[in-house]
Amino acid sequence: MAVARILFTLPLPEPFDYTVPEGMGLEPGAYVAAPVGPYDRLGMVVEVLGDEVSSGRKLKPVTAVYEAPPMGAPMREFLAWVARYTVTHPGQVLAMALRARDGLLPSPVETRYRLTGTLPERMTPARQKVLDVYRNCPEMSGNDHLLAAADIAAAANVSSGVVKGMVEAGALEPVEIDSDPPFAIPDPDLPGASLTGEQATAAVELRAAIQQGGFSAFLLDGVTGSGKTEVYFEAIAETLRSDPEAQILVLLPEIALTQAILARFQARFGAAPAPWHSGMNPKDRRRTWREAVHGRARIVIGARSALFLPYRKLRLIIVDEEHDTSFKQEDGVTYHARDLAVMRAKTEGGQVILASATPALETAVNAEAGRYVRLRLSARPGASRLPDIELVDLRKAPPEKGKWLSPVLERALIQTLANGEQSLLFLNRRGYAPLVICKACGERLKTPGTENWLTEHRYSGRLVCHVTGYSIPKPAKCPHCGAADSLMGVGPGVERVAEEVRVLLPNARIEIFSSDTAQGGDAVRSLVERMEQGEIDVMIGTQIVAKGHNFPNLTLVGVVDADSGLKGGDLRAGERTYQLLSQVAGRAGRAERPGRALVQTYAPDNPAMEALAANDRDGFLQIEQDVRAELVLPPFGRLAAMILSAPSAELVDKIALEIAAAAPNGEGIEVFGPAPAPITVLRGRHRRRFLIKSPRIVDLSAYMTAWTARLKLPAQVRISVDIDPYSFL
Ligand SMILES: Nc1ncnc2c1ncn2[C@@H]1O[C@H](COP(=O)(O)OP(=O)(O)OP(=O)(O)O)[C@@H](O)[C@H]1O
Ligand SMILES: [Zn+2]
């Protein structure tokens, strides 16, 4: 009997062998159920081998095979590559591709009822009410007057028995429909915007690459509001035309997945794309997953994990806001969706477009080296101009004592409101005050057992640790010296700035936009929509506001504390500050009215600030690039982190020494540590960190695999490897 080698969605290093029962046709990529221990588990066939492999072995048979189309070879190759690169078991990576496994089964069906046209012989008031529901509620009849029994009963305010009686009387008839209907088919030939010269040039190049076929990578490098979306719409249209089965994936930062962007797709292609993000309910996930696997979802728009859907025929990937750090997955299997998107397009032999106004240094270097084709959009279309960015030197024009907005920014806010336009104040600090100290004894309040400061939140009346999530009601007395009413918030958070703006502009409609005020996708979407519709005058937000939004009436952006991101030892601190601030500034003046940005800083001569004011992105990137090349840091060298954690400091220190001793020798490889991780204690676990640095030519993943393979760790100790770490936590 033939043998199938099956990989399971479990953290196991190897696939297992099973016999293939007579008559069960199996090919590589097929989804199957097979026994592991006492249970049947979901797995995927990696290889089918001949009879000779089974002789003399006692193998169990495969239980069942799913009807869904098998995973294609390029996707399997991609998953294997990801496992190797990220130093993860292949089964864990497979699990990421099978996130909505009930999508392997056909759509469940639901019963709906429609009017037959026959009136029941015996008419009662209750029955009349049911008929009225059908007649008077056209908005309920979206699905060709097919209503669910529960909806009818609720709308008519009758019992379910009445509905049943009307079915028996022949007035209503049941119809079975799919719970997960297919997505509407996009039409590439609806008219798009009439492109400007630069936009048209970029579109022509993209269309040519799509017609030619084969892998190619583009950097769509356009200033904020230059129409990058309009340009990649042309690439999507061409891909849809090129092949009736071609699928397109658009990756966006989670936060940018708003109604507004879905509506733009709907308007351009006459059909809403299939969405994929963390806020979706299981039914919607199952639907998108199934339609992607069968190749019927032609356009999928999603957050980073959408990269792992097993598309049937993925031809084009777009990574919008490619510099965005939310593409880096930090939990579980750590990966960067932008880098993997390029690899995925390569294995599929398709195209990838990275779009940004502030490309990541890695991307800029790849474009310079000719690995990506750079398409430039240097201006906004029509009357819209880029905002003027002005530095406000806080050393010369500081805010009044106890305030955070300088007189220049105050005047600008007053003027903008008087003009009937919107303002956005940006401060990347949640809550009211980032630090709480005792006026009596000077104690700084921290999360117990750590060095993390507690942030004061006035709305909730709590002190919260943004690292660990630890939170307590604000105590009446200092926990250190016992003094009453002595605790004082130091420094500004968005809540405190909002308080200041309320005093300055008592008649303005003011909203805070942070992960505390907008919890979950729906809350975010609704706040963004109110801003778009002009229902808010001043929005005060954390970095949640920086990304991709189009607020037509927003003309003033104020950056309250431009320096905060420059502190700390992060390798990308300068780059990120530049990106974040120019993205925030780019929210201003996107329609006819010109916009401006006022950036408050104590360090106006920092290179990031100077470049921002001079609008000299490339000059700034060049300086950053020189520094990184000099220090052999990414992308000119490689970095990996290994974090280990254990329930006690003694244990973690002892194991850290053993791990250090087990580090293999490698040419040019430097191992730093063990050192306490910047977050030293997290959820009761003590953490130590190694940083590993190597020249570019070294296969650092292979080195880390060899190292971890040597380790025999006690069960309480956990380690995780992060190739190319972004946050140095
Ligand atoms: N050729 C054009 N004709 C008319 N309007 C256009 C054209 N190109 C872009 N626009 C409009 O300009 C605005 C900005 O365009 P778009 O959102 O595509 O820019 P973007 O470069 O993706 O912006 P961001 O960098 O902020 O994401 C949109 O409202 C868009 O409809
Ligand atoms: Zn005290």
Pairwise pLDDT comparison (313 vs 551), residue with the higher score = 313
Could you tell me where the DSSP H helices lie in 222-353?
228-242, 259-269, 282-293, 337-348
Distances (CA, A) of 15 to 36, 41, 45, 92, 167: 11, 13, 9, 12, 53
What is the residue with the minimal CA distance to atom 16 of ligand 1?
A: 227
Rounded distance between C-alpha atoms, residue 341 and residue 250, angstroms? 10
Pocket perturbation via mutation, ligand 1, pick of 229, 250, 301, 354 by most ligand atoms within 8 A of CB = 229
Residue 143's pLDDT is what? 46
Residue 141's pLDDT is what? 43
Asked if residue 272 has pLDDT above 90, the reply is yes
**Token digits of residue 555:** 């003309």
Domain closes at, from 625, 655, 687 = 625
Q: Are residues 46 and 132 in the same domain?
A: no
For residue 478, is it within any domain?
no
Q: Residue for token digits 């380790």?
A: 711
Share of the chain above pLDDT 90, in %: 54
DSSP secondary structure code for residue 545 in this structure: G
For residue 484, is it within any domain?
no
Structural domain for 136, as ranges: 109-178
Q: State the amino acid at position 98 in one-letter form.
A: L
Q: Are residues 155 and 49 in the same domain?
A: no
For residue 485, is it within any domain?
no
Q: Are residues 210 and 331 in the same domain?
A: yes
Asked if residue 140 has pLDDT above 70, the reply is no
For residue 14, is it within any domain?
yes
For residue 481, is it within any domain?
no
Three-class DSSP category at 513 = strand
Cβ distance 542 to 580 under 8 Å? Answer: no
Residue 139's pLDDT is what? 54
Residue 138's pLDDT is what? 58
Q: Are residues 207 and 321 in the same domain?
A: yes
What is the residue with the minimal CA distance to atom 11 of ligand 1?
A: 227
Q: How many domains does the chain have?
A: 5
The answer, yes or no, to whether any atom of ligand 1 lies below 6 A from the CB of 76, is: no
The answer, yes or no, to whether any atom of ligand 1 lies below 6 A from the CB of 447, is: no
Q: Are residues 525 and 562 in the same domain?
A: yes
For residue 437, is it within any domain?
no
CATH code for the domain in which residue 549 is found: 3.40.50.300
Q: Are residues 245 and 333 in the same domain?
A: yes
Rounded distance between C-alpha atoms, residue 651 and residue 511, angstroms? 48
The answer, yes or no, to whether any atom of ligand 1 lies below 6 A from the CB of 225, is: yes
CATH code for the domain in which residue 131 is found: 1.10.10
Q: Are residues 217 and 297 in the same domain?
A: yes
Q: Which residues have CB under 8 Å from 110's CB, separation 6+?
A: 148, 176, 177, 178, 179
* CB-count exposure of residue 684 (10 Å: 0-12, 13-18, 19+): exposed
Distances (CA, A) of 380 to 222, 224, 360, 461: 9, 8, 21, 44
Report pLDDT digits (tens) over 586-602: 888 877 788 899 999 99
Q: Angle at the Cα of 631 (from 629 to 637), degrees rounded to 5?
A: 65
**Model pTM score:** 0.85
Q: Are residues 350 and 241 in the same domain?
A: yes
Q: State the amino acid at position 361 in one-letter form.
A: L
Domain closes at, from 178, 208, 235 = 178
Average pLDDT over all residues of the chain:
89
Report pLDDT digits (tens) over 41-59: 999 999 999 877 777 788 9
Considering every ligand atom, which ligand is closest to the CA of 444?
2
Q: Are residues 153 and 237 in the same domain?
A: no
- Pairing status of strand 3-8 against strand 16-19: antiparallel
Q: Are residues 603 and 516 in the same domain?
A: yes
User: How does residue 142 score in pLDDT terms, banded at 50, 70 and 90?
Assistant: very low
For residue 450, is it within any domain?
no
Q: Are residues 606 and 660 in the same domain?
A: no
Q: Is 465 labeled as ligand-binding? A: yes
Q: Is 438 labeled as ligand-binding? A: yes
The answer, yes or no, to whether any atom of ligand 1 lies below 6 A from the CB of 228, is: yes
Q: Are residues 530 and 403 in the same domain?
A: yes
Instruction: Give the CB-side neighbour count of residue 437, counting CA atoms within 13 A.
Output: 8
Distances (CA, A) of 673 to 450, 630, 691: 20, 22, 7
Report pLDDT digits (tens) over 620-658: 999 889 988 888 888 999 999 999 999 998 999 999 999
For residue 26, is it within any domain?
yes
